[in-house]
Structure 1
C-alpha cells in the first residue's frame, strides 16, 4: 500500500519537488496575469513557454542549455510543462476558455496551499500518467508502483545505483553498455524519472571514460510524505 501524507503549507521538504514548484509558478503566473495565452492547438503560447523554461529551474534542463540550440521553444519541446498543462486541466485546476488558460476556483485555492496541492498533484502524476508517452518510448517496464516503491523504499534508503535496483527487480545485471539498455531506459524513464520529477528521489551521475553510473537517493520529501508497507524494514540512519 502507498499512502501520501498531506504536509502543511510551507513544509520545508516540499521544496524538493520540481513538479510542485513548476505547478505553483504556473498557477501564480495565471493568477497574476489573469490568463495564459493558448495557441490554436491549445498549447501554451511560446511567450509563456520561454518564461517557464527560465523560471522552473528544471533538473537537467537549464534555460542556458535549452536556449543554446533552440531560440524558439514550443510546449511539446519542454515535457515538464506539457505534462503539467495536461494535469492541471485533467484535475480541473485549470480550464481552457476562449483561447486562454485560466485557473478554476479549486485551482486558485490550491495554488495558495503547497501541501494540499502536492497531495492532489503528485499521486495523480505518478499513478495515472503514461510516462512512456512523454518520454517518447514504445517500451514500458513490467511491474506496478506498489512493488516498485516499497522495494525502492528499502534498497535506496542509504543510497544505491540505478543498475543495482534494476537487477533487484528483474534479476538481470544490465547497464547502459549492455544489450539490455532499452529495458534500462524504459525503467529509468517510467519509474526513476517520475519519482525524481515528483521530488521523492534524487540522482547523481558518474560519467567518466567508458563509465556511466547513476546513484539514487531518497530525498527528505520521500520520508516525510510517504507511508509504505516496508517502512518497518528500514534501518536507522547513523549519525557520525
Structure 2
C-alpha cells in the first residue's frame, strides 16, 4: 500500500487501521510531558480549571444536565481557548448556556466519557480517577487520556453538524502517522487531507467538494490544534479572505506521538 511517498506493507497498514490505542499498537502516546510544555495548548489548562471547579461538592447541573449558567459565565471569561474570544461569544449571545460555549461543552462530555467526572444527584463531580489527574505532575497523563478519549469514545463529528458521516475515526492512527511525515511545513487543509487520508465513499459521493475538507478541518485538525499538536495561519498577510488556512504540526506533536511499525 502506498500513500504519497510513504509505502506500507499490508501488515503495517492493517496495524495502523486497527490500532486500539491501548499501547500495544503502532501509536505510542507519551504521558510524561510536563505541565509547562502543555500550557500553550487549550485542553489541559482549561480542563484543569473545570476539574478544580468539580472538586468537593461539584457543580450543580440544570434540568437538562448542563452546567449551571453562573459557572458557564465564569468560565467563558476565564478560559483561554484557541479561536474562542470571550468578546465574540458575548457579542453573539445575550445569555450563554453550556451548549453555546463549545469548549466547555466538549470538556463536559469528554471528562464523563473518560471516567474523570460523573453525575451524582444533580451535580457533576470529579471521580477518584479525575482527582488523581488534577495533580500538576499528572498533566501529561491528563493530556494523553483526553486525547485518547476524544478519538476512541467521543464522536468528533458531534460538534460540527456537517451532515457527512464520520469517515476519519477508523483511520485516525494512519492519519496521525502521515501527519507526522508530511506536516513539517505549512500546507492548506485540502492538500494535507489528500496526503494523510484514505479516500472514503462518503467524501467521494459528496455533492459539495469543499464539505469533506471542512469535515477534515473540524474533525481532525481542530482537535489537534486544541491539544497543541497543530498550528494554523493565514495564507499571507492581506490576502483574499477566501484563501485557505495553512497548517503544520508543532514541536509537541513529535514529543507526544511516536509510532512503532
TM-score (norm. length: structure 1): 0.84
Q: 2: CA distance between counterparts of 1:187 and 1:161?
A: 11
- 1:187 equivalenced with 2:216 (yes/no): yes
Aligned 8 A contact 2:72 2:96 in 1: yes
Aligned to 1:2: 27
SS state at 2:239 partner:
coil
Alignment of 1:138-149 (within 5 A): 138-140=163-165, 142-143=167-168, 144-149=171-176
Q: 1: CA distance between counterparts of 2:213 and 2:33?
A: 36
Relative distance call for 1:47 and 1:19 in structure 2 (3 A) is same
1:9 to partner: Cα distance: 3.9
Note the alpha carbon deviations across 1:114-168, whole angstroms, 9 max, x for none: 1221121111113332111111122146441122111111111233221221232
Query: Which residue among 197, 211, 217 is the counterpart of 2:242?
Result: 211
Q: 1: CA distance between counterparts of 2:86 and 2:197?
A: 37
Query: Which residue among 39, 42, 60 is the counterpart of 1:18?
Result: 42
Aligned to 1:133: 158
Q: Any stretches of 5+ residues in structure 1 without a counterpart?
A: 173-177, 231-240
1:61 to partner: Cα distance: 1.1
TM-score (norm. length: structure 2): 0.78
Q: 2: CA distance between counterparts of 1:183 and 1:92?
A: 32
Aligned 8 A contact 1:140 1:187 in 2: no
Note the alpha carbon deviations across 1:186-228, whole angstroms, 9 max, x for none: 1111111121122211111247336322111212221211102
Alignment of 1:197-236 (within 5 A): 197-206=226-235, 208-209=239-240, 211-229=242-260
1:229 to partner: Cα distance: 4.7
Q: CA RMSD in A?
A: 2.4
Aligned to 2:20: none
Aligned to 1:152: 179
Aligned 8 A contact 1:93 1:103 in 2: yes
Aligned 8 A contact 1:7 1:116 in 2: yes
Query: Which residue among 69, 72, 75 is the counterpart of 2:92?
Result: 69
Q: Any stretches of 5+ residues in structure 2 without a counterpart?
A: 1-25, 200-206
- 1:27 equivalenced with 2:51 (yes/no): yes
SS state at 2:232 partner:
strand
Aligned 8 A contact 1:202 1:216 in 2: yes
Q: 1: CA distance between counterparts of 2:86 and 2:139?
A: 24
Aligned residues: 224
Q: 2: CA distance between counterparts of 1:46 and 1:205?
A: 35
Aligned 8 A contact 2:175 2:197 in 1: no
Aligned 8 A contact 1:49 1:74 in 2: yes
Structure 1 segments of 4+ aligned residues over 3 angstroms from their partners? 140-143, 169-172
Q: 2: CA distance between counterparts of 1:61 and 1:8?
A: 25
